[in-house]
Structures are given as C-alpha cells and as structure tokens.
C-alpha cells in the first residue's frame, strides 16, 4: 500500500468506530434537500475526523467532502474526495449496509480508492497500476470483474426502495431485461460486487449523487478490469468540473460491451417514454 492508501485505511477504521458508536442510538436527524436526503451526527463526526486526518498527513492537498461546503480551489494538483457515511438512510434505520469512501485525484485523474464497510469488517481498495483487492475478515483477494457482455441473464445491483421514494427511471431500468437484482446499500459496496465478480451492472437512479459517490469505486472497478463509470448518456465522469454534484444518473458495468448495450437500450426506451 502507498502512504496515501495507508493513511486512508487508518482514518477509515477510526471513522468506522464513530459510526459504530452512534449506530442504533437515538439520532438527531437533519435534512439537506428533502426527506430522502438525511444527515446525522455520525455523518458530521466522521467527516470532521477524516478531513482533519487527511489535512494533518498531507497539508498541501485539497479535500472535497459530501458534508462540507468547501470546494477545492483547483483540480490541477491532488484532491481527496470523501463520503464520511454512505447510505445514511440505511444507517438511520439501523441496518449494517453503510460505508466510508475515500478517493484521491491527481491532476484531475482518479488515483486511489478505498471503500470501508465497518459493520462487515471488510474493505475494497485499489490504486492505479497496482490492481484492486478486497479484504474480508483478514483475508485479501485480488479483484477481477466477470466477462459478461449481454444484458439478458446478467445481475444488476439495486437499491432499497423506500415508501414514497418514487423515481420514474426505476421503471425504465426494470424494462432492460436483467436476469436478477441484488439489493445493496452503500454505493461502494454495490460497485465492489461488480469488481469481485458477484454482479454485472449498477445504475444509480438518484440525481443527488456527487463525486464522493463515485471516485473511490471507479478506481477499484477499473483496476479490476471493469469499464469506467459513465453518465446516463455514456459519457465519462469529469472530476474536474466545478460543481461537486453530478446532477445526472450514472452507471457501472463489468465490461465496456455490457455498458454500451445498457446505454443504447436506455436511450431507446427514453426516446419512447421521455422518462429522464
């Protein structure tokens, strides 16, 4: 592991203890945009710990966090992008599906990624040119995506659907013809399943997603041989854009061939339904 990845893992383990401390306790919940976008004291404490630790270890680097309003002055150098608690909704419900995601950009390009799942004692990690791995209960395995190229019979990673959280694009995704759906919480865990060959594709249907939701996982998936993440039109994600949010749906798949077929079929359905 590089010094950067070592620091990221040490901090993620500490932040995981913060999440455990508040898990299944009476939480004070605030909402950023609506009832489906909550933030808890655990989010904020984890954020403070991660940002302080990164700043202490790498004082010249910039930081972008989901829970901080501060934006990087530039993406020309090194920028850490963090999600202190992904799947806050599941965390509030007392589930064990939440994760901590830490990624590093260098000159605007994904460099390193870590997805830490504190309630499962496992984490995914990867560095450009060094491969990606999963550590589960102390055993480390190298990741390799499946060779899936067809939508039919493939495995989609989906979300927990909450009452009232209706998204028109969900109906479009249902029409694509995937063979089965695996339900998972943390985005990093969803894409991690593709990286280790247990799933084939993921379509994120929430327009509130940001760079913190994708960077770490993109490194892990790419280093496992997977296709780069793209938006709903098949365009690569641009981490140097000024806004922190994507304001677009995004997708991941095991192979470029599968990703291209999903993109084409989504476009064809949308031409008929105008769902997104």
The CATH number linked to 164 is: 3.40.190.80
Within-domain flag for 147: no
pTM: 0.93
175, two tokens: 């029409």
Within-domain flag for 86: yes
Q: Which domain holds residue 258?
A: 155-273
131-159 mean pLDDT: 96
Q: Is pLDDT above 70 for 225?
A: yes
Q: Are residues 123 and 220 in the same domain?
A: no
pLDDT in tens, 9-55: 999 999 999 999 999 998 878 886 665 678 889 999 999 999 999 99
**Count of structural domains within the chain:** 2
Within-domain flag for 122: yes
Within-domain flag for 150: no
Q: Tell me what pLDDT residue 165 has.
A: 66
CATH code, 17: 3.30.540.10
Q: Tell me what pLDDT residue 125 has.
A: 99
96-125 mean pLDDT: 97
176-203 mean pLDDT: 96
Q: Are residues 193 and 238 in the same domain?
A: yes
């Amino acid at each position: 592991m590089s010094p950067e990845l070592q620091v990221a893992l040490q901090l993620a383990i500490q932040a995981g203890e913060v999440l455990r401390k508040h898990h299944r306790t009476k939480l004070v919940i605030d909402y950023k945009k609506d009832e489906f976008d909550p933030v808890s004291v655990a989010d904020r404490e984890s954020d403070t710990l991660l940002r302080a630790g990164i700043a202490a270890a790498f004082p010249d680097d910039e930081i972008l966090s989901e829970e901080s309003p501060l934006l990087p002055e530039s993406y020309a150098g090194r920028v850490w992008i963090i999600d202190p608690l992904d799947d806050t909704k599941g965390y509030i419900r007392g589930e064990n599906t939440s994760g901590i995601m830490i990624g590093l950009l260098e000159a605007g390009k994904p460099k390193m990624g870590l997805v830490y799942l504190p309630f499962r004692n496992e984490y995914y990690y990867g560095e450009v040119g060094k491969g990606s791995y999963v550590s589960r209960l102390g055993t480390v395995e190298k990741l390799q995506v499946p060779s899936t190229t067809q939508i039919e019979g493939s495995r989609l990673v989906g979300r927990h659907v909450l009452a009232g959280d209706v998204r028109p694009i969900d109906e479009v995704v249902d029409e694509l013809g995937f063979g089965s759906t695996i339900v998972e919480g943390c985005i990093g865990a969803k894409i991690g399943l593709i990286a280790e060959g247990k799933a084939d594709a993921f379509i994120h249907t929430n327009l509130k997603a940001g760079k913190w939701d994708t960077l770490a996982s993109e490194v892990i998936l790419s280093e496992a041989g997977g296709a780069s993440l793209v938006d709903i039109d098949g365009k690569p994600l641009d981490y140097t854009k000024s806004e922190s949010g994507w304001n677009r749906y995004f997708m991941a798949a095991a192979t470029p061939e599968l990703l291209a077929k999903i993109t084409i079929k989504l476009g064809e359905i949308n031409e008929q339904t105008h769902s997104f």
